[in-house]
Amino acid sequence: MKIRLATNEDNQSLLALARESPMESHLIINVDRAPDYFLLANLQGDDARVFVAEQDGFIVGAIGCCLREVLLTGQPTRIGYIGGIKVAAAARKGLTSFRLMNAVANYLRAVPVEMAIVITMTDNEAMAPILAGRVGMPPFHPINRLVINYIFPLFRPQVTGGYQIRSFRESDLDHLTRLFTDFFRNYSLTFEWTPKRLSALLNQPNFSSENILIATKNGRPVAALTWWDQSSFKRTIVEKYDGWLKTLAGLSKPLKIFPQAGEPLIELQIRHIVYEKEHTSAARDLIRYLINEKKRKYRLFRIGFQQNSPLAALLSGLPHLKIHLNCYIASDKKDDETRLLISGLRQGQIWEDLSLH
């Protein structure tokens, strides 16, 4: 078996591998990345790499990683993000996943990065040995639980009417930068929110000024929300419903909220939501306004955040179900400063763009 960097010529083989090796949990999910497997990896961070395991001329495993410049204790810090771990069924009994992770570990050490993070579904038992530190990497420590919420609009949610809601204008950029900066001030693993970074969102696929909603009070922006239809490059397919989700899908079948197994969810991503502390109701109105505007086209509205996030209160009164994820972090350093940093991450707020998962 050979471990190597993937090239554009591997695109179709990687798409096939992803279809054949869905994430297994209490539901079996496949993220369809057609037509370009590499696009999602490039959106998740800088200098993205995909490593593949090749055997007898066939790709039997893959893993992705990228670099991020994030804020840790208020300081810009380079970290690695690891994801997209896929191994064909025929290769799961061997050391394929360990060799792939080791390739990523060696690459990130050479960069170098301060730490690396991995996000998995909570009951993904296949990841446990890989995260235990047996592949030339230090062990990954759980730092927090994340939640992806699927809102299903059974009714037309009411808004307060106390705010004017409109799309983003170029003149809003400085106000938007301030809203993002102030909202994420006490978060870790977030970015330094600059006008340049926010403007760069408009260059991403299917993302324009129309994807940014602004709530104003007396003409002043006090909250903002971004939404994203990713169906041209990322579709969530439930290959199999199980447990209570199977029951829920069956009961809601007349409402056509959940598709048949093997078909993509008709979903809209709520990507960012920021607001001034005294205008929580503006953020709630933005979510409800978006649902009312888009519910004819989309069956589910997806928003993710940390389990104990204040954002959870914004979903009060909206029917939704939750999918839980675990966020892990690893570092080669074992000094007191690193241990304190990991402890701080567990106790504080972290941010991750869960629309890209």
Q: Are residues 154 and 126 in the same domain?
A: no
What's the pLDDT at 24? 63
Q: Are residues 233 and 305 in the same domain?
A: yes
Q: pLDDT digit string (tens) for 69-89?
A: 999 988 999 999 999 999 999
**Confidence class for position 119, pLDDT limits 50, 70, 90:** very high
Look at residue 184 and tell me whether its pLDDT is greater than 80.
Answer: yes
Q: Are residues 8 and 112 in the same domain?
A: yes
Tokens 């037509």 -> residue: 35
In 47-127, which residue ranges form alpha helices assigned H by DSSP? Answer: 96-110
What's the pLDDT at 26? 58
Q: Are residues 109 and 213 in the same domain?
A: no
Contact between 70 and 187 under an 8 Å Cβ cutoff? The reply is no
Q: Note whether residue 23 is domain-resident.
A: yes
Residues in the chain: 357
Q: Are residues 169 and 112 in the same domain?
A: no
Give the end of a domain, one of 104, 139, 174: 139
Give the end of a domain, one of 84, 108, 139: 139
Q: pLDDT digit string (tens) for 297-319?
A: 999 999 999 999 999 999 999 99
Q: Are residues 286 and 161 in the same domain?
A: yes
Look at residue 244 and tell me whether its pLDDT is greater than 80.
Answer: no
**Confidence class for position 149, pLDDT limits 50, 70, 90:** very high
Q: Note whether residue 330 is domain-resident.
A: no
What's the pLDDT at 25? 60
Look at residue 230 and tell me whether its pLDDT is greater than 70.
Answer: yes
Q: Are residues 186 and 309 in the same domain?
A: yes
The candidate with the shortest Cα–Cα distance to 163, out of 293, 281, 290, 270, is 281
- Mean pLDDT value across residues 88-96: 90
Mean pLDDT of the chain: 94
Q: Note whether residue 341 is domain-resident.
A: no
Q: Are residues 38 and 133 in the same domain?
A: yes
Weakest mean pLDDT among 127-136, 186-195, 271-280: 127-136
Q: Note whether residue 333 is domain-resident.
A: no
First to last CA, the chain: 29
- State the DSSP string of 120-166: EETT-GGGHHHHTT-SSSPPPEEEEEEEEEEE--SS-----S-SEEE
Q: Note whether residue 351 is domain-resident.
A: no
Domain around 7:
2-139
- The CATH number given to whatever domain includes residue 106 is 3.40.630.30
Q: What percent of the chain has pLDDT over 90?
A: 83
CA atoms within 13 A on the CB side of 294: 24
Higher pLDDT, 87 or 244: 87
**Confidence class for position 130, pLDDT limits 50, 70, 90:** confident
Q: Are residues 291 and 163 in the same domain?
A: yes
Q: Note whether residue 262 is domain-resident.
A: yes
Look at residue 27 and tell me whether its pLDDT is greater than 70.
Answer: no
- Mean pLDDT value across residues 42-57: 97
Give the end of a domain, one of 100, 115, 139: 139
Q: Note whether residue 29 is domain-resident.
A: yes
Q: What percent of the chain has pLDDT over 70?
A: 98
Domain count of the fold of the chain: 2
Q: Note whether residue 71 is domain-resident.
A: yes
Q: Are residues 14 and 66 in the same domain?
A: yes
The candidate with the shortest Cα–Cα distance to 114, out of 331, 328, 329, 327, is 331
Instruction: Copy the structure tokens of residue 340.
Output: 């304190």
What's the pLDDT at 186? 94
What's the pLDDT at 246? 81
Q: Are residues 154 and 277 in the same domain?
A: yes
Q: Are residues 94 and 191 in the same domain?
A: no
